[in-house]
Amino acid sequence: MLFENADLADGRTRDVRVDGERIAAVEPALTPDDGERVVDADGRLLLPGMIDAHVHFRQPGFPHKETWATGSRSAAAGGVTTVVDQPNTDPPTTDGAAFDAKADLAADSLIDYGISGGVTESWDPDSLFDRPLFALGEVFLADSTGEMGIEAPLFEAALDHAASAGVTVTVHAEDATLFDESVRPGGENERHDADAWSAFRTAEAEAAAVEQACAAAGGDVDLHIAHTSTPEGIDTAAEAGATCEVTPHHLLLSRADLDQLGTYGRMNPPLRSEARRGAVFERVADGTVDIVATDHAPHTRAEKDADIWTAPSGVPGVETALPLLVDLARQGELSYERVRDLTAATPAAVFDLPRKGRVEPGYDADLVLVDPETPRKISGADRHTKCEWTPFEGFEGVFPELTLVRGSVVYERDGDDERFGDAVGENVRSS
Task: List, for residues 216-232, the tens digit of each pLDDT value.
Answer: 998 889 999 999 999 99
Each residue's pLDDT tens digit, 229-274? 999 999 999 999 999 999 999 999 999 999 999 999 999 999 999 9
Q: What is the dihedral of CA 152, 153, 155, 156, to 10 degrees?
A: 120
State the CATH class of domain 49-350.
Answer: alpha beta
Q: Where do the domains of the chain lie?
A: 2-45+360-420, 49-350
**Cβ count near 36 (within 10 Å):** 14
Phi then psi dihedrals of residue 369, to 5 deg: -105, 125
Does the pLDDT value for residue 144 go beyond 90?
no
For the question of residue 422 being annotated catalytic, the response is no
Cβ neighbours for 337, distance < 8 A, ≥ 6 positions apart: 9, 10
Quote the pLDDT of residue 150.
63
Report d(CA 190, CA 182) in Å as an integer.
Answer: 6
Report d(CA 331, CA 76) in Å as an integer.
Answer: 24
Quote the pLDDT of residue 151.
78
Quote the pLDDT of residue 219.
82
What average pLDDT does the segment 206-219 reach?
92
Quote the pLDDT of residue 366.
98
Greatest CA span in the chain, whole angstroms? 75
Nearest to 6 by CA among 50, 44, 32: 44
- Please give the CATH architecture assigned to the domain spanning 2-45+360-420: Roll (2.30)
Quote the pLDDT of residue 235.
98
Contact 210, 279 (CB under 8 A): no
Contact 25, 63 (CB under 8 A): no
Mean pLDDT of the chain: 96
Quote the pLDDT of residue 277.
98
Report d(CA 301, CA 292) in Å as an integer.
Answer: 26
- Report the half-sphere exposure of 336 (CA within 13 A, side-chain side): 17
Among residues 15, 85, 295, 364, the one annotated as catalytic is 295
Report d(CA 52, CA 185) in Å as an integer.
Answer: 36
Does the pLDDT value for residue 57 go beyond 70?
yes
